[in-house]
Structure 1
Amino acid sequence: MKKINKIILGVLLLALVSIVGCSSQTEPTQKVIAKYEGGEVTEAEFNTFLSVMSYFDPSIQEYLEQLDKEQEKELKTQILKMYIGEKYLFEQAEVDPSIEEKAKTNFEIVKEKKIQESGSKEKYNELLNNLKITESDLISYMNRYYTIENYFVEKEYSENREEFTVATVSQILVAINSDRNEEEAKKLAEEVLAKLKAGEDFGKLAKEYSDDPGSKDNGGIYRDARVAFWVPEFKEAVLALPLNEISGLVKTDYGYHIIKVIDRKILRIDELSDQDRALAYNSGFGKFIVEKLPNIISEINL
């Protein structure tokens, strides 16, 4: 069940479905509602796209009903721009049979969940009929999403490989807080550092002195943690510090850290988690929408 939910969540990322609506459809037409570099979008295909979104999240229609016509139009304009961006990027991409197969496989998982939610295969088919979409529409959408996701993952990985570093570290945090000002924290941290340099056990000192609740009881250890998620000062120290050497004092907004890096490696691209891929996609697609898409779209007429 968790795997199914992750797949659905990944698919929904592309459309930001938490803010888009799908109105009651009239018969779709071939009216062109947008033009962009190398292509156009018809009313019919955009309606299909919105129906696909509604398939993955039925609450879309309920959300739409809370909006007035002006708000609805504004939201549809924004999602149309995103759809144009998606379509444009997909048209530039090379066909990858492995991604097509992934889309088909994951769709079957999503489909099974939807049948269970519907109560029967007949009710499921009724859902598709009401939305005026086919399973082919849904698979095509998933293929498009995974293709674009893969593009941005590879781009982000090649340009910022260091961001995919994982490390196992030991740390002692002497916090600056209401009970200890900066001067007092620094003095205590220096005392702890002196004990470490004198050969005292890092883990024991972490349990005694560290103010980090996430690692204190574990001897100060974080295992296989993504370096990119840490504050800049801590991250830079972890990336620069030779293995198994003890750092000097590293100052952050939290206080003073003493760090020892036990292991550090850059993940292979096939080791990236769903979260890694989603973050790479969100970053890359977000930049594309802001920096490049306005120059690609030539006309919108909703």
Structure 2
Amino acid sequence: MSKKISVIALTAALAMSLMACNNADSSAKKETSQAQEVSFPKLERNELEKQNEVVTYKGGEVSGKEFADYLAFQGFVNPDAPINEKEFQKEVLNHLVMEEKITQEVKDDQWASERADELWEQISASYDEKTRKKGYETLSVKEETIKNHLLNYYKVEQYFREGLTDKDIQAFYEDVSDEVTGLTFQHILVATKQADEEGKEKEVRTDEKAKKIADDVKNQLDEGGDFSKLAEKYNEDPGSKKTKGVYEQMPLSQLDGEFRDAAANQKIGEIGEPVKTDYGYHIIRVDKRQKKELKEVKDPIMQQLAIEKMNNYMKETLPSVIKETNI
């Protein structure tokens, strides 16, 4: 399976990070309106808080109060989290044990502290003061507790980042070459089938007819025809109809099959022969193909690799660390 550079949410804190980033371009008015609509879950804390130990592990234990606070944190950063469901609780309890074990190993947490502060700013941009206060009251949790778990999340990531080697990073970078290679190209699709208003595909012309039209368009281009004008007339790709067939800085990974091969290998500025795909025939001209340098994507690569190491720790190491669970 091909690896992709992505932010995989190990905890709801990271999901919150994504939500905040997606809202970053919104106006303050829109952000306030969205924040006021947040409905936080009510945590059933009483039974949990009665337990002295919900889990014991090598080197420590988690009390019911501590676990309730962690569930409240989860509910705060992700109001859709099913914090009262047992399966969810068992999963995040494992996260909490990992957090408590790993954070003990982090001596200098400056990097983690800076990341946590940045995330808190994003949360504050999504949740106004009134909404944050509502969250604290509904979940019976303190702001200090939320911030502390944000910090601990990044301390865990920092720990696994520090274990990465240059060889690890370089290998991943090479493995995700398609994800970090951006293309700007112009194409004309002569379709054999299209989706109707209900999303069902229907045939619009035979393969033979589509190939004949595509060959004719290619000939016109070879004779000096204007690509944009011909795209206005012939291009049947809904995604680029308004741009005269142009896509800018599209990751190579988003292209499939013969189209991907042509886009990856055609000479810059060259108009290739019609390429057949499931939707018809494409005439493609690649105008720019640029792979990001390692230094441009090093941070998200390190983040992804660290998260993979977290997942491996959860799967391979944590079971031997936990002694007894009482939920």
TM-score norm. by structure 1 comes to 0.69
CA–CA distance in structure 1, aligned partners of residues 19 and 106 of structure 2: 18
The alpha-carbon deviation at position 174 of structure 1 amounts to 1.1
The alpha-carbon deviation at position 264 of structure 1 amounts to 1.4
* SS of alignment partner, residue 219 of structure 1: coil
Give structure 1 regions of 4+ aligned residues with deviation exceeding 6 angstroms.
38-41, 85-94, 148-153
Q: Is the 8 A contact 1:238 1:259 kept in 2?
A: yes
- Structure 2 match to 1:78: 91
Matching of residue 110 in structure 1 with residue 123 in structure 2 = yes
1:193 alignment partner, one of 212, 218, 237: 218
Q: 1:21 to 1:118 in 2, by over 3 A?
A: closer
* SS of alignment partner, residue 269 of structure 2: coil
Identity %: 25
- Structure 1 match to 2:55: 33
Q: 1:254 to 1:28 in 2, by over 3 A?
A: farther
The alpha-carbon deviation at position 216 of structure 1 amounts to 2.7
1:58 alignment partner, one of 65, 68, 79: 79
Matching of residue 8 in structure 1 with residue 16 in structure 2 = yes
Runs of 5+ consecutive residues of structure 2 not aligned to the other structure = 1-13, 22-40, 194-202
CA–CA distance in structure 2, aligned partners of residues 160 and 213 of structure 1: 28
* SS of alignment partner, residue 214 of structure 1: helix
Q: 1:28 to 1:157 in 2, by over 3 A?
A: farther
Q: 1:81 to 1:198 in 2, by over 3 A?
A: farther
2:148 alignment partner, one of 108, 131, 137: 137
- Structure 1 match to 2:258: 233
The alpha-carbon deviation at position 215 of structure 1 amounts to 1.7
Q: Is the 8 A contact 2:76 2:135 kept in 1?
A: no
Q: Is the 8 A contact 2:268 2:288 kept in 1?
A: yes
Matching of residue 42 in structure 1 with residue 62 in structure 2 = yes
Q: 1:287 to 1:116 in 2, by over 3 A?
A: same
- Structure 1 match to 2:198: none
CA–CA distance in structure 2, aligned partners of residues 285 and 212 of structure 1: 37
The alpha-carbon deviation at position 258 of structure 1 amounts to 1.2
The alpha-carbon deviation at position 265 of structure 1 amounts to 0.9
Aligned length: 272
- Structure 2 match to 1:24: 45
RMSD over aligned Cα atoms: 4.3
The alpha-carbon deviation at position 9 of structure 1 amounts to 4.2
- Structure 2 match to 1:295: 316
Runs of 5+ consecutive residues of structure 1 not aligned to the other structure = 1-5, 14-19, 66-71
CA–CA distance in structure 2, aligned partners of residues 147 and 86 of structure 1: 12
TM-score norm. by structure 2 comes to 0.64
The alpha-carbon deviation at position 261 of structure 1 amounts to 0.8
